[in-house]
Chain A
Amino acid sequence: MKLYEYQAKNVFKEAGITIPNSVLIDKQDELSSALPIVGLPCVIKSQVLSGGRGKAGLISFVKTEESAISEINRLFNHKLNIKKFLIEEAVDFKQEVYVSITVDPYEATALLIVSVEGGIDIETLAVTQPEKIIKESIDMRYGLMSHQANHIAYSLNLPNEVAKEMRKLFLKLYSVFVKYDAELVEINPLFITQNNKLIAGDGKLMIDDNSMHRQVVFERNQSDYTNEAEYEASIEGIPFIQFDGDIGLMCAGAGLTTTVYDIIHYEGGTVANYLEFGGPNYKKALKSMEICLKVPSKVILIVTFGTIARADVMAEGIVDAIKRLKPDRPIVTCIRGTNEIEATKILIEAGLEPIFDTEEAVRKAVLLAKEAS
C-alpha cells in the first residue's frame, strides 16, 4: 500500500523528522484559513498516489494570495478529481539530498541509499552518474547500526553540523522502515536549510501488502479510489487495474493473467481491466464477475490453469455468478488445471462453450469484442 505524501509526512513527524509547516485541505474555501498558518510564498501539492507530480503540473509554487486562489481553483477542477491538497510553506534551502531505504532481494538486507544530488530524478542519476549514489547494506537482524549511519553521514562532504543531523535522520528513517513494514521509504528532496537544518520536502512510504494485517492505521475509504470497481476489488484483496479497452480480464494466476494481457495485445485486442482471482481468491468468482461487470467492456475473458486453485470450484463459481448476475455481455471461458474434467462438464451443462487453449480463447474474445464495436 502506497501512502499519500501527507500520510508519509505525518509518520516522519511522529518519528522525529522535521517536515515543513503545512495544512491539509479538502475544500476550496479552506485555503483562506490555511494561508496565514503557512505564510507566503507557499507550495500547493496535490495529494495523488502517482509519481511525477511536478511534471504533471500538480504542484504549484505561489507567491501571492491571488495566484494561490487561482491555482487551487484550477487544481480542484482538475480532470483527475483530486480530493486533498497539502498547503505547505516554501522552504528556503541551500541543498537537496536524496535518501531512501528499501530491501535488497539479492543480498537479503535492507539498503540505505543516499545522494547529495537529490531533488532530481534519481533514476536518471543512477544511470548517468552512479558514483554519486551511496549505498549501505543493513543487516535486518541487527538493524541500522549507529556506526554505519555515522560513517555514511560523514562521507557526504557536508558541514559537520549537517552530518550530525543526517546521522540522526538515517536512524529515524530506519525506525520508520521497520515499524511500518516498508517496501520503500523515501525522502526526495531532503532540504538542507540555510541554517543547516534538515527538512523532509517530500515523503514516500510504501507498506508491504503482506504485512497489512499488522498495519491497520491507514485504512482507505471509497473516496481514495477512482471508481467503485477499484474500491471493491481492494476491499476484497483482488488485484485489479482498470484500462480503457474492450476485453475484461478475469483470470487466475498472476503470471498467466499477465501473459493473457500480452497475447490480447499481440492479437490486436485491447484490455478493459486486469483482474486476477487466483491463489487465496479462487473461490471469489461471484465477486470478481460483479467487479468486472462494473467496467465498461464488450466481453469478459476467463482464463485459468490452476494447481491449488481447483478448476471445478472456479467453474461452479462462474456458473453461479452468471445465473445471479445475468451478464449483459458474452463470456469466454478457458478453465484448466486440477479437476479440469469436472470443470468442463459444469461449464457445458450451464450452456457455456468452454475452450481449452489460451490463444484460441483470446482470439475468440478479440473477435467478439470487434463484433460488438
Chain B
Amino acid sequence: MSIFIDKNTLVCVQGITGKEGSFWTKHMIEMGTQVVCGVTPGKEGQLIEGKPVYNSVKKAIENHKVEASMLFVPPRLTMDAVMEALDAGIKKIVTIADGIPLHEMVLIRQAAKEHNAIVVGGNTSGVISPELAMMGSFPYWIDRVYKKGNIGVMTRSGSLTNEVTAMIVEAGYGVSTLIGVGGDPVPGTRFAEFLPMYQEDSETAAIVLIGELGGSMEEEVAEAVQNGTFTKPIVAFLGGKTAPKGQKMGHAGAIITGGKGSVEDKIKALTEVGALVAERPRFVGKLLEQLAVPKL
C-alpha cells in the first residue's frame, strides 16, 4: 500500500503541454502513474504521451474519471489553477510551483479546507510512492534513493530529501510514500495532516521527518504523537541547527522569529514524545534500526 497516490489513482495534468509539464508527464507515465488526461487552455485536441488535452478541467472531467490533479503551472497562475481543480470536485492536488505569492497561498489553503481537499505544495517535488506512481518531478530512476519499502517520508525540502532518503535506502530500508509538503511559509497541507493516513497505511512501519528551522510543523507532529493520533516510530532530521537567528537561511519559511522555530525547540518537542532526531543525514538509518523498525 501507500498513501495519497498508488498505481490506480487517476491523474489529470494541468499545464501538460508546457516544457516541464510534458517532460514530467512522460516520466510519471513511464513509472506507472495512471495519467488519464491533461489540461491547457487553447490546446484541446492535442495528445501528449497519447493522453487527450482539454481546454478546462471541467471539460476534462466530463470525459474522464479524475481523482487527482497534478499542476505544472507557473506560480502566478497557480491559485487560479488550484481553484479550477477544486471547483471540478478534485480532492487531491499537487503543485510544484516555486514562487506562489504568500497571500494567494493563504487563500489556496483556506479553499482546500473548505472543499475538504488536500493541496500539496507549492515549492515541492511532489508526492511519490516508489515503484507505484508519482505526482511531481522526482528522478525515480535513481534507485539508491527511490526504492520501495515501509518508511513514510515527509519533507519540506527537495535536494535534502534525496540526501536523507539515500541514507534510508543505504541502511536497507525503502519508502512507502514520500510527501514533499514544500518549503514555503504557508504550505497547502502541513506535516501533521498526513499522519492519520500514514497511521492507517498497513505498509508504513515508521516515519522519517525531514524538517528544518522555522515554523511549527515539526512541533505539530510531536503534538499528534502526544495526543495519540499517531503511534508509529518517528525519526527526524532537521536542518539549520547552527543557523544564525533572524536570518532567512534556507527556504522562505525557514527563519527563527518571535523566539520560535529554532531547531533546538523542535528537537526538544520531538524527543519528548519518543521520536529520535538524527544529527546528520547519515544517522537516520541507524536510528530506524534502533527503534526496531523491520526491514522488508
Contact = CB atoms under 8 A, between A and B. Distances in A.
A279 interface: yes
A176 B19 CA distance: 37
Contacts of B252: 209-210
Interface in B68-110: 75-76, 96, 98-103, 106-107, 109-110
Interface stretch (B34-42, B238-246, B267-275): B238-246
A225 to B, nearest CB: 15
Interface string B196-230: 00000000000000101101100010000000000
A305 to B, nearest CB: 4
B250 A258 contact: yes
Contacts of A359: 280, 282
Interface stretch (A104-112, A294-302, A317-325): A104-112
Contact of B210 (A210, A255, A265, A338): A255
Interface in A242-256: 251-256
B159 A278 contact: yes
Contact of B159 (A108, A213, A214, A304): A304
A258 B163 CA distance: 12
B259 A259 contact: no
B159 A337 contact: yes
Given A261-B242, A337-B142, A254 B162 contact: no
B156 interface: yes
A251 B158 CA distance: 13
A108 B183 contact: no
B290 interface: no
A141 B98 contact: no
Contact of B125 (A257, A263, A307): A307
A145 interface: no
B254 A181 contact: no
Given A259-B160, A307-B137, A358-B163, A279 B98 contact: yes
A105 B188 CA distance: 9
B251 interface: yes
A55 to B, nearest CB: 13
Contacts of B98: 279-280
B293 interface: no
A26 B112 CA distance: 49
B4 interface: no
Given A106-B190, A254-B183, A337 B139 contact: yes
Contact of A183 (B102, B239, B251, B280): B102
A210 B160 contact: no
A127 B183 CA distance: 27
Interface string A21-60: 0000000000000000000000000000011000000000
Contacts of B143: none
A181 B79 CA distance: 15
Contact of B110 (A141, A181, A307): A141
A181 B185 CA distance: 14
B102 A103 contact: yes
Contact of B251 (A103, A251, A254, A340): A254
A211 B166 CA distance: 35
Interface string B249-280: 11111100011000000000000000000011
Given A208-B103, A255-B251, A307-B139, A105 B158 contact: no
Interface string B133-161: 00001110010000000000001111111
A135 to B, nearest CB: 12
Interface string B2-36: 00000000000000000010000000000000000
A371 interface: no
B20 A123 contact: no
A307 B162 contact: yes
Best-buried of B213, B242, B282 by chain A (most CB within 10 Å):
B242
Nearest to A311: B139
A221 B264 CA distance: 37
B99 A280 contact: yes
Contact of A262 (B100, B158, B239, B248): B239
B113 interface: yes
Contact of A308 (B76, B125, B190, B247): B125
A308 B156 contact: no
B158 A278 contact: yes
A301 to B, nearest CB: 14
A352 interface: no
20 contacts: A105-B185, A106-B190, A108-B106, A108-B113, A140-B106, A178-B103, A183-B102, A210-B75, A210-B102, A211-B103, A255-B155, A255-B157, A255-B159, A258-B212, A258-B249, A262-B242, A305-B159, A307-B137, A337-B139, A339-B139
Interface of B: 20, 75-76, 96, 98-103, 106-107, 109-110, 113, 123, 125, 137-139, 142, 155-163, 166, 183-187, 190, 210, 212-213, 215-216, 220, 237, 239-243, 246-254, 258-259, 279-282
Given A181-B102, A181-B103, A257-B249, 19 more contacts: A103-B186, A105-B187, A106-B216, A123-B258, A139-B110, A140-B106, A141-B107, A183-B102, A211-B101, A255-B254, A258-B240, A258-B254, A266-B242, A304-B159, A305-B159, A307-B137, A308-B158, A338-B139, A358-B163
Interface of A: 50-51, 103, 105-106, 108-110, 122-123, 126-127, 139-141, 178, 181, 183, 208-211, 213-214, 239, 241, 251-259, 261-263, 265-266, 274, 276, 278-280, 304-309, 336-340, 358-359
- Across the A-B interface, the 3 shortest Cβ-Cβ residue pairs: A253-B159, A255-B157, A255-B160
